[in-house]
Amino acid sequence: MTDKPAYKDTSLSFEERVDDLVSRMTLEEKISQMVFDAVAIERLDVPQHNWWNECLHGVARAGIATVFPQGIGMGATWNPQLVNKVADAISDEARAKHHAAARNGLREIYFGLSFWTPNVNIFRDPRWGRGQETYGEDPYLMARTGVAFVKGLQGDDSKYLKVIATPKHYAVHSGPEKERHEFDAKASLRDMRETYLPAFEATVREAGAYSVMGAYNRTNGEPCCASPTLLQEILREEWGFDGYVVSDCGAIGDIYLHHKVVKTAAEAAALAVNNGCDLNCGATYPALVDAVAQGLISEETIDQAVKRLFMARFRLGMFDPPEEVAYSQIPITINASEEHHQLALQLARESMVLLKNDGILPLSKDVGTVAVIGPNANDPLVLRANYYGTPPKAVTPLEGIRAILPPEIGVLYDPGRLLYHEELEKHPESEEWGQHPWMLSPVEVARSADVVIFVGGISQLLEGEEGQMEGLTGGQTSRGDRATLGLPRIQENLLKAIHATGTPVVLVLLNGSPVSVPWAQENVSAILEAWYPGQAGGTAIAEVLFGDYNPAGRLPLTIYKSVADLPDFRDYDMQGRTYRYFEGEPLYAFGYGLSYAEFVYSNLVVERTEIKADDTVSVSVAVKNVSDVAGDEVVQLYVKDVEASVPVPLHHLEGFTRLHLEPGQSEIVCFELTPRQFSIVDDNGKYVVESGEFLVAVGGRQPRHAEYPGGSEDILVGKFTVVD
C-alpha cells in the first residue's frame, strides 16, 4: 500500500501541497489548467473546473437567484456596509449553488467559485455602455464600495476563501466598446495614480482580492493582459499581489490578431504569461506548448502560473473534505430566500435618488386616480440590467404601485408604446409629437387621472457591452455605447403631450448611465432616479413615491446637460471629466440627492490647523434632523488643495457616511484624513504631500466652487495647513 501523496495530506500547508501536485504534472497537463475551462486530470484526481462565473449584482446565469440592483445603484446608496451585506448574501448563494451542482457532477460554466466581479473601472464618460456595472465616477467612492463588495464575497475565514473576487478590467478601460479589442488607452502617470488605479489598489491591498482581470485594450502601448507595467511592476511588486491574473475573454488572442503587438498565438501566449497573466479566458494558451518548444517561455514560468491557480483552488477548499470547509455547509435553501429578497429591497430603497420635488411627493395614498404610463412601467426584464440571474419574483413599478395603494384607488396603465424610435432620433422634425394616433391612448389616460407616474428611461438596448444580448428579447443586440445623453425623443415627446393635459407628472427613470432631462427638470413636478433596481425595484419605487420610505440616495456620477459638455470619448485625459475636473454647470451634480427630511450642519471642527506632512487630520461635524420626518443623511467631506504646484482636481471626495436620524435627533460625525488623501501626484507618478493650505468642505452634497472658502448655510468649510 502506497503512502498518500503530499497534495492530499491536509496536515501540510497549501504551499507544500500545491508544489507537490504541480510537480507531478506533465507540461501538457499544466497548460490544460491555464484555460478557463480546465479539464480533469483523472490520474491525479484533479476534477474538471470552470473558472468563469459572474455575480455582478447577484449570482448570474445559473438559474434562480436573488437579483439585487445593478452596480451603479449600489454606488448610489453611498453605504458600503450595506453593499458588504449584499455581497455576503451573494456569496452564500454562490457557495450553495456550487456544492449542489458538484454533488450532481455538474462542474460547468457558471457553477464555479471564482467570480469575475466587481467592475471597478472609473465611469469617466457617461456614454460608456458598461458604466452601469461600476459604482460611479469617483475613485474614493469606487474604492470604498469595491472593498466592501470584495470582502463580502471572499469571507473572513482565516484559512479558506468563501469565493474568489476578481476586480476588473485592469486598469484603464471605459470605452469605446466597439474598439476595445484594438484600442490604446493613453493616460498620464498623474491620471493613472489619481483616477484609474486607486480602486484596484484598494481592492487588492485592503480587501485582499485574490484575482484580477486584465482589460482588452492596451494602456500606453502595452496590452493590459501582457503589461509588465500593470501586472508586474505595479500589481505584484508595488502592491504585493500574490493571487492570479485572468484575461478578459479573447484578450490574449487580441494581442496578435488586433493589437498586432506580436505575430503568432504562441508569441501572444508567452508574452502574457511571462508578464504575469496566469489564466486565459479564450483559446490561445494551448499554444504555450509551441511557445516552450520555441524557447519563448520556460516551463518554470508556466509552473509559477499553474501554482498560483492551484493555490486558489486549494484556498477554496476544493481538495479538502467538505466537513473541514465551513462554507461548504451553506444550505441550498438560502438561495433566493425571503431574507435575501428583503436585502434586495433595502438596497433598492437606499439606491433611489430624488432629483426634483416641487412638493408633490410623497403622494397621498388617497390621491385619486393614478395613471402609470411609460415603456419601463411594467417590464420585469429591465429591472435586471445585465449579468443577472433569474429572480423567483420580480416587482415592476406598476405592480409596486398597485400593491401599495388601497383597492379603492384606481390605477390606470398604458405602456406608451416604444422605449426608443430610431427614425425619430435621426429625424426629430419628421413627426409632430402631438399628432400621432398611438399617443391618443396614453394622453387620454393621463387626462382622466389625478396624477401621472411616467416610468421611462433606457434599457440594455441603448447601453451595454459590445455584442450584448442579455437583458433583451427577440434576438436584439445592445447598441453598446450611447451617442447622446437625453431621454429618447419618443418618450420626451409623449412626456410633453401628457404634461400639456395639465395633470401633474412624476417622472421615474430606469437606467444605468445618466439620462439628461433638462426639459423635465423645468416642467414636471418630481423626478426619481431608480437605476436598474433589481427584483424588488417596483416595491422600493412605490414606497418612495407614496412616503413609506424617505429617499436618501446620492448621485455617484455627474449628470451633464448634454453631450456637448464632454471631451472626445476616445480621449482618456481626465481634464474636463467628472466632477473633479469639470468646470461647467451640470444638470445634477455628483453627490446630489433630495430628501423628505431637512438636516442642519454645525460646529465643524478641524482638530489641528497646522500639521506636518506625515500627520493625519481629524475633522468632525454635528448633523441634526430639524424636520418631523425620520430619514437618512449622507454626510460628504471634500478636500481642496489651494496651493498645489501641479495640476490637481478642483476638489475631491475623501470621506462620507450614511446615517439615520429621527426627528430632532443629532449626531457628531468624525472623519480621519490620512496624508495620502491630501497628497499630490508629481510628474513622475509619485504621491507627495506638499506644504500649503488645504480646504475641507462638509455637507449633504458636493460644494459649489463659489462656496470655497466661506461656505454656505448647508456647506461648512474649514482649513488646515501643511508646514515644512
DSSP annotation of 326 = G
Q: Which amino acid is at 458?
A: I
- The 3 state secondary structure assigned to 601-624 is EEEEEECCCEECCCCCEEEEEEEE
What angle is formed at CA 576 by the lines to CA 574 and CA 582, rounded to 5 degrees? 120
Q: How far apart are CA 672 and CA 616, in angstroms?
A: 7
- SS3 of 628, please? coil
DSSP state of 588: B
Rounded Cα distance between 480 and 433, Å, is 27
Q: Are strands 599-606 and 652-661 parallel, antiparallel or unpaired?
A: unpaired
* Backbone dihedral angles phi then psi of residue 482, each to the nearest 5 degrees: -95, 145
The answer to whether the CB of 172 falls within 8 A of the CB of 189 is no
Q: From CA 51, how far away is CA 40, in angstroms rounded?
A: 13
Measured in residues, the chain has a length of 724
Nearest-angstrom CA–CA distance, 592 and 72: 15
Rounded CA-CA distance 433/488 in Å is 13
Please tell me which residue in 463, 465, 565, 632 is annotated as part of the active site. Answer: 463
Calpha distance 348→352 (Å, rounded): 7
Q: Are 169 and 203 in contact (CB under 8 A)?
A: no
Helix axes 198-205, 139-154, angle to 10 degrees: 30
Contact between 720 and 606 under an 8 Å Cβ cutoff? The reply is yes
For the chain, what is the radius of gyration of the CA atoms?
26
3-state class (DSSP) for residue 64: strand
Q: Does residue 641 have an active-site annotation?
A: no
Pairing of strands 526-529, 353-357: antiparallel
Among 201, 248, 399, 466, the one annotated catalytic: 248
Q: Where do the DSSP E strands lie in 76-202? A: 184-185
What one-character-per-residue DSSP string does 17-51 give? HHHHHHHTS-HHHHHHTSBSEEPPBGGGTB--EE-
Q: How far apart are alpha carbons 164 and 681 in whole angstroms?
A: 32
What lies within 8 Å, CB to CB, of 120 at 6+ separation is 134, 135, 142, 143, 146, 167, 168, 199, 200, 203
Q: Is 125 in the active site?
A: no
Q: Are 597 and 624 in contact (CB under 8 A)?
A: no
Task: Answer whether 713's CB lies under 8 Å from 699's CB.
Answer: no
* Cis check: omega of the bond before 118, within 30 degrees of 0: yes
Query: What are the residue ranges of helices labelled H in 251-298?
Result: 251-257, 265-274, 288-293
Residue 449 CB contacts under 8 Å (≥ 6 apart), including other chains: 368, 369, 370, 371, 412, 503
DSSP 8-state secondary structure symbol assigned to residue 565: G
Q: Residue 666 and residue 625: Cα distance in Å, rounded?
A: 6
Virtual torsion, Cα 358, 362, 368, 373, nearest 10 deg: 80
Q: Catalytic residues, which ones?
A: 248, 463
